[in-house]
Amino acid sequence: MISVHRVPIVGLLALLPVALYAFSLHSIVGIALVNVVLIAASVYIMFLPSESTVKTASA
């Protein structure tokens, strides 16, 4: 199982193929880049501690 702290790193690894593809001059590159950033941000936010978890840990 992957550590929660490494999930955003794995998500950002998806930027490597996009970066390689970015050397081409197609407009689809911008769309692909936005999609990868949205997915990585969503995964990061999904694994952040919730308010109830933070309250329980601080109590």
Q: How far is CA 26 from CA 21, 22, 29, 30, in A?
A: 9, 8, 6, 8
What is the token pair recorded at 57? 């840990």
d(CA 4, CA 1): 9
pTM of the model: 0.50
Segments making up each domain of the chain, as ranges: 18-58
Q: Could you read off the pLDDT of 1-58 as tens digits, one per residue?
A: 567 677 777 777 777 777 777 677 677 777 777 888 888 888 888 888 777 766 676 6
